[in-house]
Amino acid sequence: MTGFDLTDLTASFNGKRVIGPLSLTVNPGDKIALVGKSGAGKSTLIRLIYERINRDSSLIPQDLGLVNALSVFHNVFMGQLDKHPTWYNTLTLARPFAKDKADVLSLLQSLGITEKLWTPAASLSGGQRQRVAIARSLYRNAAVLLADEPVSALDGPMANSVMMQLRDRFTTSIIALHDVDLALNYCTRIVGIQDGQVALDQPSEHLAAADIVSLY
């Protein structure tokens, strides 16, 4: 599944509506940037979409969802836990298979952190942790990516490199972004969220940065 219809999505916290009712059609091949100020509802929307499509997606949550006590290898390998039997996963915890090590190492190389393969996630910097979560999403190899500010802790060149990889590796993606230039450069469609509603939905080629900044 690379396209889907989201209808009447709603979410409330403490009795206050933070999302919706909101409807959104995601077409196969869409690279959607969710833009808008903090608190507009982008993170909540990502979570609601994930609840709808779950197994068909790779998720990069804002809190990254890493297991601090586990190594970088094992955190990335978690992207495919549900694709293996329990005995395989248990064995991998103690002695990973050569193919899995090679596949994970290749992803870490593309993200510039090969030397961290066996480092516990707890010992990583913010930017390194973000790249581990990105590697996990790539390792899962789903058709759809759902990502919440996946490059916020990365410098300009690395952020651009990562966005390029995410664009090229996933058929369809929905990425919450604060950086307007990254949204315009790497996404084909801009969806602006304001007060839990869709305030903008246009092809990125029809927009300039000034058209989006007002949402912030």
Closest CA to 61 of 45, 74, 73: 45
- Which residues are registered as beta bridge partners of 16? 13
Q: What is the pLDDT of residues 140-173, one digit of tens each?
A: 999 999 999 999 999 999 999 999 999 999 999 9
pLDDT over 80 (residue 2): no
β-pairing, 189-194 with 197-203? antiparallel
**Residue 41 region, left (φ>0) first, then alpha (ψ -120 to 50), else beta?**
left
Q: How far, in Å, CA of 9 to CA of 180, rounded?
A: 25
The residue with greater pLDDT, 203 or 12, is 203
Q: What is the pLDDT of residues 45-73, one digit of tens each?
A: 999 999 988 878 999 999 999 999 999 99
Structure tokens at 97: 């298979």
Q: What is the pLDDT of residues 131-146, one digit of tens each?
A: 999 999 999 999 999 9
**Domains in the chain with CATH codes:** 4-213 (3.40.50.300)
To 10 degrees, the CA torsion angle through 117, 119, 57, 23? Answer: -140
Pick from 21-25, 161-165, 208-212 the range whose average pLDDT is largest: 161-165
pLDDT over 80 (residue 186): yes
pLDDT over 70 (residue 1): no
| E strand segments, the chain | 4-13, 16-26, 31-35, 57-60, 144-148, 172-176, 189-194, 197-203
